[in-house]
Amino acid sequence: MKLQAELLPLIEKYRAAAGSIVAYAEHLKAAGGYKDFHTRLAWDVLRGIVGTRGICDWYDKYNCHDSHIETLAKRALKEVYTV
C-alpha cells in the first residue's frame, strides 16, 4: 500500500472519533443519494478527520492518486466501522 506510513496514525484518529463515525454512517445510510456507500463513507470520514489540506499534501508527498488514498481510507475505516 503506497500510503502505509499513514495507516496507523489514521486508525488512531478514527478510533478517537469512532462514536461520531458510526453515528454519521447511520445518518448517511438513511439519507441515501450515493452510488457506493462504503466509498462515500470512507471519503467523507477522511475529509472530516484529515481535512482537504492534509489529503492534498499526500498527493505530493507520496506521489499518489485517488485510488491510493481511497484504499487507505477504507482500510482505516474497517477498524471502527464494518459495512
Residue in the block written with cell 482500510 = 75
pLDDT at residue 82, as a whole number:
87
Rg over alpha carbons for the chain, rounded to the nearest Å, is: 12
Which whole number is the average pLDDT over 33-44?
Answer: 97
Whether the pLDDT of residue 83 is over 90: the answer is no
pTM for the model stands at 0.93
Q: Which three cell numbers stand for residue 71?
A: 484504499
Report the percentage of the chain scoring pLDDT > 90. 96
Question: In the chain, how long is the greatest CA-to-CA distance?
Answer: 36
C-alpha torsion sign, points 14, 83, 27, 19: negative
Q: Could you tell me which residues come within 8 angstroms of residue 36 by beta carbon, excluding any fewer than 6 positions away?
A: none
